[in-house]
Amino acid sequence: MVKIAIMGYGVVGSGVVEVMLKNKKSISHKAGEQIEISRILDIREFSDSPMAGRFTSNFEDIINDPEIKIVVETIGGLNPAYDFVRRCLLAGKSVVTSNKELVAAKGDELLALARDRNLNFLFEASVGGGIPILRPLDQCLAANEVFEIAGILNGTTNFILTKMIRDNISFADALNLAQRLGYAERDPLADIGGLDACRKICILASLAFGKHVYPEQVHTQGIQDITLEDVKYADIWGGVIKLIGRARKLEDGRLDCIVVPMILPHASRLAQVNDVFNGILVRGDAIGDVVFYGQGAGKLPTASAVVADIIDEVKHLGARKYLIWESGEPDYVADYLESKSAMMLRLKCDNSQAVKSKLDNMLGVCERVDIENSPSDELVLVTPLITQNRLDEVLKSLSDTSLISRIRIADF
Amino acid sequence: MVKIAIMGYGVVGSGVVEVMLKNKKSISHKAGEQIEISRILDIREFSDSPMAGRFTSNFEDIINDPEIKIVVETIGGLNPAYDFVRRCLLAGKSVVTSNKELVAAKGDELLALARDRNLNFLFEASVGGGIPILRPLDQCLAANEVFEIAGILNGTTNFILTKMIRDNISFADALNLAQRLGYAERDPLADIGGLDACRKICILASLAFGKHVYPEQVHTQGIQDITLEDVKYADIWGGVIKLIGRARKLEDGRLDCIVVPMILPHASRLAQVNDVFNGILVRGDAIGDVVFYGQGAGKLPTASAVVADIIDEVKHLGARKYLIWESGEPDYVADYLESKSAMMLRLKCDNSQAVKSKLDNMLGVCERVDIENSPSDELVLVTPLITQNRLDEVLKSLSDTSLISRIRIADF
């Protein structure tokens, strides 16, 4: 019998209890031990819960109970989760968390704490919800040089973009719908501004490339400025706009890591990932392209990933799972303005033919995207591979031209 | 330093050596030990190989070397692989194999042998080539009741069907092309007849549902009889024909397990898996639908899965990975004739309106699929859910009607 505690009885925490109770028999069988949830930390009381009597609002009840070997952190946010998790590890308890903000900010430190004490710190649920991704990535890494990871990592923004693309609904209306359906928070900024996706690509990149990438190192742009016109031009060119988190190893050892809306050609494996679903592409030298797809959020999918980690920790009490990465470095992530990609440009200009000729000369031949009934002073082009620095420099030299939008085109 | 041996230096075996040499440093780092390939069993001599000097044609050189702790079987086929693997386990050596025929036929017995001797028997590469699927499935199983697995499990047939669908090439020509490109064997029967897919769904079903499913228990139908007309009707209805291996838990505890061509609606996640790629859908109660996608065969992808297993066995020498299932039972797999699905029927009949009315009465209202310039004596219908037994009985009662083809429609 192994005793565990759960900190935070919100959506994920209560889902963990639900899954543990529902699949109790098969879970004990898998773990090789009975697992008892002996304490649940929450400020609220849940007297109707089957767990009533095990709730506490005092963290000390958990940290001071030597029988509790594993603590599950589903509070979310950096504080007090960081302090609690740290203290649990220092007290010799293994930890499972679903908290991407915590892992993206403090993963290196917490993994080192766990390693030094022969404990485990697992967080499968922090990326991709219920999609098994961190363990399979670890498996891919075992025999492959993984050189790129790209993913649709946030279900809320993917739902909004899918509505814009399929139903021709504006960003504002699609966001409103997402909120009514419960897919977006009342304060949706972490989702639509790209921060949630940023935290997840930080975790994936840290694991894949062995060195911590911190969210503040990653250029992060959300989908707030994507318009129906952008969507339409992308469609005419032959693609869809998706919010992509991408990390790619550069030849000099640094990382190209960004979160931006990108246009994915229809043939891309990630172009067909729609609605609230997530999809993650892993590219390795031996394995080629592998894609993982499923629900990236939601109570039960996320809870099932947490429970899989709990089982793994029960099986490895006193032994360590291999999972570690180094602390990061200030210059590890390259300047995104120097990262090359093809771009779709929407320009406002009077003489579009002349502007196109100039750009063709300066950038290499651009592909013109024509749309019926478009404004006569609008020019839409797809450039060859170029850095944003160089592009902005060239555009600045064209005095009679202003930039409406600039969206990267994915090469996966 | 851990010594291993490789049996069989064909495509996969030589790929394993290639990956081990290329990523030597990161592999040792992951495994926590240096790994030395001390022996390679093959009847041929490879004097130009960097491994020259380590080849032997005598299995006794491996079985009698107490320093060899792990043996990799990449010979393929049931004999002598079965005898060799069995003897390795009996001699206290852990085994990794890529051999789906072996695992599908003898997995229960070999897993039990390994368990009883505290050894590991791993076979990630036997299903889905380089796609990590067995470990993630194990993870899905940890916290989920998995109730269905369906997959495009054979790249050769998927390539042929993709050519038929996209390029309107006949089955015979597409097969010919696949052979010229090296995607199909000169004797392609195991692929096109569905046996390869059958072995893989047996392995997936055995792991997912805990009891061995033997290939001879699974109704297996290949793609030889699929015509361009079938492909066209499927397209007009709104789907594509794919060879599907599917296992589904029935309420009485038995399994519905088949390998058949099915029509997948365009919206199905597996409908977009094309060319030589594989896709595997796992459905669980908490996790919802999860899909794994990648190259299901090929030298390096398969080799990378083998190497991941080798690393795992090196890390777990003297400890066991949880991976086991019971032996099967004669009545465990239900009669496929009693498995219900919607079906697309192509019928030859003189009075199609009258025949449709009769069928609507007997089966429930059928959907008519109309195609321009189709023969006037051909009727194409999509039925409601029905068993093949009941359908055949009903068709037999229509004396003026003969069946051209009958293809199941997928509900995923």
- Inter-CA distances, B121 with B4, B310, B319, Å: 14, 10, 12
- For residue B239, the model assigns a pLDDT of 97
**Which of A306, A247, A254, A231 minimizes the C-alpha distance to A281?**
A247
Determine whether the interchain pair A290/B286 forms a contact, defined as Cβ–Cβ distance below 8 Å.
Answer: no
Q: Which residues of B touch A293 (CB under 8 A)?
A: 269, 290-293
pLDDT, tens digit (0-9, with 9 covering 90-100), for B5-43: 999 999 999 999 999 999 999 899 889 899 999 999 999
CA of A390 vs chain B CAs: smallest distance (Å): 36
- For residue B399, the model assigns a pLDDT of 83
Active site residues of B: 200
Q: Among B133, B290, B310, B311, pick the best mutation site for testing chain A contact (most A Cβ within 10 A).
A: B290
Determine whether the interchain pair B290/A131 forms a contact, defined as Cβ–Cβ distance below 8 Å.
Answer: yes
**Nearest-angstrom CA–CA distance, A267 and A275:** 18
pLDDT top residue among B353 and B260:
B260
**Which of B124, B153, B142 minimizes the C-alpha distance to A142?**
B124
Determine whether the interchain pair B290/A286 forms a contact, defined as Cβ–Cβ distance below 8 Å.
Answer: no
Question: Which of B139, B294, B306 shows the shortest C-beta gap to A308?
Answer: B139
Determine whether the interchain pair A308/B131 forms a contact, defined as Cβ–Cβ distance below 8 Å.
Answer: no
* Residue carrying structure tokens 């891919």: A140
Q: Which residues of A touch B293 (CB under 8 A)?
A: 269, 290-293
Cα Rg of chain B (Å, integer) = 23
Domains, chain A: 2-129+300-315 (3.40.50.720), 134-295 (3.30.360.10), 340-409 (3.30.70.1150)
- For residue B322, the model assigns a pLDDT of 67
CA of B295 vs chain A CAs: smallest distance (Å): 7
According to DSSP, residue A408 is labeled E
- Band the pLDDT of A6: cuts 50, 70, 90: very high
Question: Which of A19, A287, A295 shows the shortest C-beta gap to B288?
Answer: A295
Determine whether the interchain pair A289/B312 forms a contact, defined as Cβ–Cβ distance below 8 Å.
Answer: no
Cβ atoms of A280 and A204 within 8 Å: the answer is yes
Query: Mean pLDDT of all residues in chain A?
Result: 94
Determine whether the interchain pair A143/B304 forms a contact, defined as Cβ–Cβ distance below 8 Å.
Answer: yes
Q: Tell whether the model's pLDDT for residue A47 goes beyond 90.
A: no
Q: Which residues of A touch B290 (CB under 8 A)?
A: 130-132, 292-295
Least confident of A103-112, A394-403, B238-247, B268-277: A394-403
High-pLDDT (> 70) share of chain B, %: 100
Closest-CA residue in chain A for B311? Answer: A142
Q: How many CA atoms lie within 13 A of A349 on its CB side?
A: 23
**Nearest-angstrom CA–CA distance, A197 and A305:** 18
**Nearest-angstrom CA–CA distance, B234 and B406:** 11
Rounded to an integer, the average pLDDT of A242-256 is 97
Residue A59 three-state SS = coil
- Inter-CA distances, A317 with A16, A32, A206, B142, Å: 20, 12, 25, 17
CA of A388 vs chain B CAs: smallest distance (Å): 32
Determine whether the interchain pair A292/B290 forms a contact, defined as Cβ–Cβ distance below 8 Å.
Answer: yes
Q: Which residues of A touch B301 (CB under 8 A)?
A: 286-288
Question: Which of B286, B293, B311 shows the shortest C-beta gap to A130?
Answer: B286
The partner residues of B341 in beta bridges, in order of sequence, read B386
Q: Which residues of B touch A312 (CB under 8 A)?
A: 142
According to DSSP, residue A236 is labeled H
Question: Which of B124, B292, B304 shows the shortest C-beta gap to A286?
Answer: B304
Residue A293 three-state SS = strand
**Sequence-separated contacts (24+) of A54-61 with Cβ below 8 Å:** A55/A9, A59/A7, A59/A84, A59/A87
Question: Which of A23, A272, A287 shows the shortest C-beta gap to B301?
Answer: A287
High-pLDDT (> 70) share of chain A, %: 100
CA of A293 vs chain B CAs: smallest distance (Å): 5
Closest-CA residue in chain A for B303? Answer: A286
CA of B1 vs chain A CAs: smallest distance (Å): 17
pLDDT, tens digit (0-9, with 9 covering 90-100), for B300-327: 999 999 999 999 999 988 877 768 899 9
Q: Among A25, A29, A140, A144, pick the best mutation site for testing chain B contact (most B Cβ within 10 A).
A: A144
Q: Which residues of B touch A289 (CB under 8 A)?
A: 294-295
CA of A104 vs chain B CAs: smallest distance (Å): 23
Determine whether the interchain pair A27/B322 forms a contact, defined as Cβ–Cβ distance below 8 Å.
Answer: no
pLDDT, tens digit (0-9, with 9 covering 90-100), for B57-93: 999 999 999 999 999 999 999 999 999 999 999 999 9
CA of A309 vs chain B CAs: smallest distance (Å): 9
CA of A125 vs chain B CAs: smallest distance (Å): 11
Q: Which residues of A touch B30 (CB under 8 A)?
A: 141-142, 322
What residues contact residue B41 under an 8 Å CB cut-off, 6+ apart?
B5, B6, B7, B8, B9, B55, B56, B57, B58, B59, B61, B62, B75
Q: Among B4, B287, B291, B310, pick the best mutation site for testing chain A contact (most A Cβ within 10 A).
A: B287
**Nearest-angstrom CA–CA distance, B407 and B346:** 9
Angle of the B155-167 helix axis to the B171-180 helix axis, nearest 10: 130
The partner residues of B259 in beta bridges, in order of sequence, read B220, B245
Rounded to an integer, the average pLDDT of B254-281 is 96
Q: Tell whether the model's pLDDT for residue A368 goes beyond 90.
A: yes
Closest-CA residue in chain B for A290? Answer: B294
Rounded to an integer, the average pLDDT of A340-367 is 94
- Inter-CA distances, B295 with B72, B266, B375, Å: 21, 21, 40
Q: Tell whether the model's pLDDT for residue A371 goes beyond 80.
A: no
**Nearest-angstrom CA–CA distance, A204 and A223:** 21
Strand boundaries in A61-218, DSSP class E: 68-73, 94-97, 121-122, 146-152
Question: Which of A136, A143, A272 shows the shortest C-beta gap to B135?
Answer: A136
Active site residues of A: 200
Determine whether the interchain pair A287/B269 forms a contact, defined as Cβ–Cβ distance below 8 Å.
Answer: no
pLDDT, tens digit (0-9, with 9 covering 90-100), for A294-350: 998 889 999 999 999 999 999 988 877 768 899 999 999 999 999 999 999 999 998
**Nearest-angstrom CA–CA distance, A213 and A329:** 8
Determine whether the interchain pair A269/B293 forms a contact, defined as Cβ–Cβ distance below 8 Å.
Answer: yes
Determine whether the interchain pair A287/B300 forms a contact, defined as Cβ–Cβ distance below 8 Å.
Answer: yes
Pairing relationship of beta strands A277-284 and A378-382 according to DSSP bridges: unpaired
Q: Which residues of B touch A284 (CB under 8 A)?
A: 304
Cβ atoms of B288 and A295 within 8 Å: the answer is yes
Query: Mean pLDDT of all residues in chain B?
Result: 94
- For residue B61, the model assigns a pLDDT of 97
- For residue A386, the model assigns a pLDDT of 96
What residues contact residue A64 under an 8 Å CB cut-off, 6+ apart?
none
What type of residue sits at position B146?
A: V
Question: Which of B293, B307, B312 shows the shortest C-beta gap to A290?
Answer: B293
**Which of B273, B278, B260, B397 minimizes the C-alpha distance to B337?**
B260
Cβ atoms of A394 and A343 within 8 Å: the answer is no
**Nearest-angstrom CA–CA distance, B142 and A125:** 14
- For residue A80, the model assigns a pLDDT of 96
Question: Which of A26, A132, A286 shows the shortest C-beta gap to B139?
Answer: A132
CA of B337 vs chain A CAs: smallest distance (Å): 31
**Nearest-angstrom CA–CA distance, B369 and B67:** 66
Determine whether the interchain pair A135/B139 forms a contact, defined as Cβ–Cβ distance below 8 Å.
Answer: yes
Closest-CA residue in chain A for B266? Answer: A272
Determine whether the interchain pair B304/A140 forms a contact, defined as Cβ–Cβ distance below 8 Å.
Answer: yes
Q: What is the 3-state secondary structure (H, E, C) of chain B?
A: CEEEEEECCCHHHHHHHHHHHHCHHHHHHHHCCCEEEEEEECCCCCCCCCCCCCEECCCHHHHCCCCEEEEEECCCCCCCHHHHHHHHHHCCCEEEECCHHHHHHHHHHHHHHHHHCCCCEECHHHCCCCCCCHHHHHHHHHHCCEEEEEEECCHHHHHHHHHHHHHCCCHHHHHHHHHHCCCCCCCCHHHHCCHHHHHHHHHHHHHHHCECCCHHHCEECCCCCCCHHHHHHHHHHCEEEEEEEEEEECCCCCEEEEEEEEEEECCCCCCCCCCCEEEEEEEECCCEEEEEEEECCCHHHHHHHHHHHHHHHHHCCCCCCCCCCECCCCCCECCHHHCEEEEEEEEEECCHHHHHHHHHHHHCCCEECCCCCCCCCEEEEECCCEEHHHHHHHHHCCCCEEEEEEEEECCC
Give the burial string for A330-340 (b: 16+ CB within 10 Å, else e). Answer: eebbbebeebe
- For residue B142, the model assigns a pLDDT of 85
Determine whether the interchain pair A144/B290 forms a contact, defined as Cβ–Cβ distance below 8 Å.
Answer: no
**Nearest-angstrom CA–CA distance, A73 and A96:** 6
Angle at A291 between CA A289 and CA A296, to 5 degrees: 155
Q: Which residues of B touch A131 (CB under 8 A)?
A: 290
Residue A345 three-state SS = strand
- For residue B334, the model assigns a pLDDT of 97
- Band the pLDDT of A138: cuts 50, 70, 90: confident
pLDDT, tens digit (0-9, with 9 covering 90-100), for B46-60: 888 889 899 999 999
- Inter-CA distances, A277 with A265, A301, B6, B404, Å: 18, 12, 41, 39
Question: Ramachandran region of residue A149, left (φ > 0), alpha (ψ -120 to 50) or beta?
Answer: beta
Question: Which of B23, B272, B287 shows the shortest C-beta gap to A301?
Answer: B287
Q: What is the 3-state secondary structure (H, E, C) of A192-233?
A: HCCHHHHHHHHHHHHHHHCECCCHHHCEECCCCCCCHHHHHH
Rounded to an integer, the average pLDDT of A96-119 is 97
Determine whether the interchain pair A295/B315 forms a contact, defined as Cβ–Cβ distance below 8 Å.
Answer: no
**Nearest-angstrom CA–CA distance, A32 and A218:** 41
Determine whether the interchain pair A136/B140 forms a contact, defined as Cβ–Cβ distance below 8 Å.
Answer: no
Phi and psi torsions of A180, nearest 5°: -65, -35
Determine whether the interchain pair A19/B143 forms a contact, defined as Cβ–Cβ distance below 8 Å.
Answer: yes
Q: Which residues of B touch A269 (CB under 8 A)?
A: 293
Angle at B8 between CA B6 and CA B9, to 5 degrees: 90
